[in-house]
């Protein structure tokens, strides 16, 4: 490979790296927009700008290298002269017959309806929350959690009168569960969603006093910013990066049914 070929290859690699850097910056910006907390969003925005400027720098380097970098290289590494090739005898081409009949191409049928499989999303931890981990992320693969039961009251062991449909106003929502085969010190997280958008989360190492199994596991929340409102809520529990259980409940403004509407009776009078 000569110097020019190496310069072109290096310029192409710089352009490709710039493309992936700017692409990563766009994905990071989209992730930052979904975050509810200002500090996490600011940290993600700084990463976005760094990736963007790196991509611009690489693109500029890829443009500069073949036009200005190559002559600079020749100053320090002058090219060696190459012997000219002796011209060879050029043969006169023979006449090529062109066929007069052209076979028409066959038609390719395209189906009018194509079945596109739908994606089933699996719960996952956002990168911003994963960055806050303080404990190991490798849980016991045999760790299990029961389904989450929700209530606005908790007696210290279990939710009182658990249900999945609630009526405003709500002060605090509790989620109770049982667990087994957990390892103290492993990071665990609880993510709270409203209508598919994350509004709060809890993450910390599993405490020694909770032991490796028991009853009375609890998550609680006082609601999104501005208080509880009507909507569909979801709680996702993770051990390390592994999703364990999801619980859902619905909040309505009122559970009292509206009275049925009455149609006024029409009385007609006949004049004799």
* 220 and 139 fall within a common domain: yes
Please indicate, yes or no, whether residues 169 and 242 belong to a single structural domain of this protein. yes
Looking at residue 151, its pLDDT comes to 95
* 23 in a structural domain: yes
Same domain, 68 and 141: no
CA triplet 196, 198, 200: central angle to 5 degrees? 140
> Is 122 within the bounds of a domain?
no
Q: Is residue 108 part of a domain?
A: no
**Angstrom distance (rounded) from CA 25 to CA 47:** 8
SS3 category, 78: coil
SS3 245: strand
Q: Looking at beta carbons, which pairs linking 195-200 to residues 24 or more positions away fall under 8 Å?
A: 195/231, 195/232, 196/232, 196/234, 197/34, 197/36, 198/34, 198/35, 198/36, 198/126, 199/36, 199/224, 199/225, 200/36, 200/224
pLDDT at 261: 56
Structure tokens at 160: 């009182």
Residue 142 lies in a domain: yes
Report pLDDT digits (tens) over 185-207.
Answer: 999 999 999 999 999 999 999 99
> Last residue of some domain: 60, 76, 92?
76
CA 204 to chain centre: 22
Confirm whether 118 is domain-assigned: no
Same domain, 60 and 149: no
d(CA 199, CA 188): 18
Q: Give the pair of three-digit tokens for residue 40.
A: 């996490």
Q: Is the pLDDT of residue 34 over 60?
A: yes
Q: Give the number of domains in the chain.
A: 2
Taking only the tens place, the pLDDT of each residue in 41-90 is 888 789 889 888 988 988 888 888 788 877 877 777 776 665 555 556 56
| Residues 157 and 56 occupy one common structural domain | no
Would you say 148 and 176 are in contact if contact means Cβ atoms under 8 Å apart?
A: yes
**Residue-level pLDDT at 35:** 77
CATH number of the structural domain spanning residue 243:
2.60.40.2550
Assess contact for 25 and 52: CB atoms under 8 A: yes
Q: Is residue 110 part of a domain?
A: no
**Residue range(s) defining the domain that contains residue 203:** 127-252
- Does 49 reside within a domain? yes
- Plot region of 98 (φ>0 → left; ψ -120 to 50 → alpha; else → beta): beta
How confident is the model over 76-101, as pLDDT tens digits? 777 666 555 555 656 666 666 665 56
Query: Hunting for tokens 């994606």 — which residue is that?
Result: 119
pTM: 0.51
One domain for residues 39 and 155:
no
Residue with tokens 């060879």: 88
Query: What are the backbone angles phi and psi of residue 109, rounded to the nearest 5°?
Result: -80, 130
Whether residue 71 is found in the same domain as residue 142:
no
Q: Would 119 be classed as within a structural domain?
A: no
Same domain, 138 and 227: yes
Which among 180, 187, 189, 184 has a CA at the least distance from the CA of 142? 180
């Amino acid at each position: 490979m000569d110097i020019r070929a190496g310069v072109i290859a290096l310029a192409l690699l710089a352009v490709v790296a710039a493309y992936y850097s700017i692409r990563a910056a766009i994905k990071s910006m989209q992730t930052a927009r979904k975050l509810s907390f200002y500090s996490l969003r600011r940290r993600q925005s700084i990463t976005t700008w760094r990736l963007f400027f790196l991509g611009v720098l690489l693109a500029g380097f890829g443009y500069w290298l073949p036009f200005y970098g190559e002559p600079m290289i020749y100053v320090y590494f002058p090219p060696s002269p190459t012997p000219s090739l002796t011209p060879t005898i050029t043969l006169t081409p023979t006449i090529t017959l062109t066929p007069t009949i052209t076979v028409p191409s066959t038609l390719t049928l395209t189906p009018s309806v194509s079945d596109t499989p739908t994606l089933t999303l699996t719960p996952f931890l956002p990168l911003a929350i994963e960055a806050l981990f303080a404990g190991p992320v490798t849980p016991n693969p045999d760790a299990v959690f029961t389904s989450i039961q929700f209530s606005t009251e908790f007696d210290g062991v279990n939710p009182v009168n658990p249900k999945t449909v609630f009526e405003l106003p709500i002060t605090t929502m509790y989620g109770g569960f049982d667990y087994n085969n957990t390892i103290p010190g492993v990071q665990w997280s609880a993510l709270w969603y409203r209508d598919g958008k994350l509004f709060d989360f809890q993450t910390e190492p599993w405490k020694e006093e909770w032991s490796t199994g028991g009853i009375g596991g609890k998550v609680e929340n006082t609601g999104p910013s501005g208080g509880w409102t009507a909507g569909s809520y979801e709680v996702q529990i993770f051990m390390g990066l592994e999703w364990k259980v999801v619980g859902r409940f619905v909040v309505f403004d009122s559970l009292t049914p509206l009275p049925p509407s009455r149609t006024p009776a029409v009385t007609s009078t006949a004049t004799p």
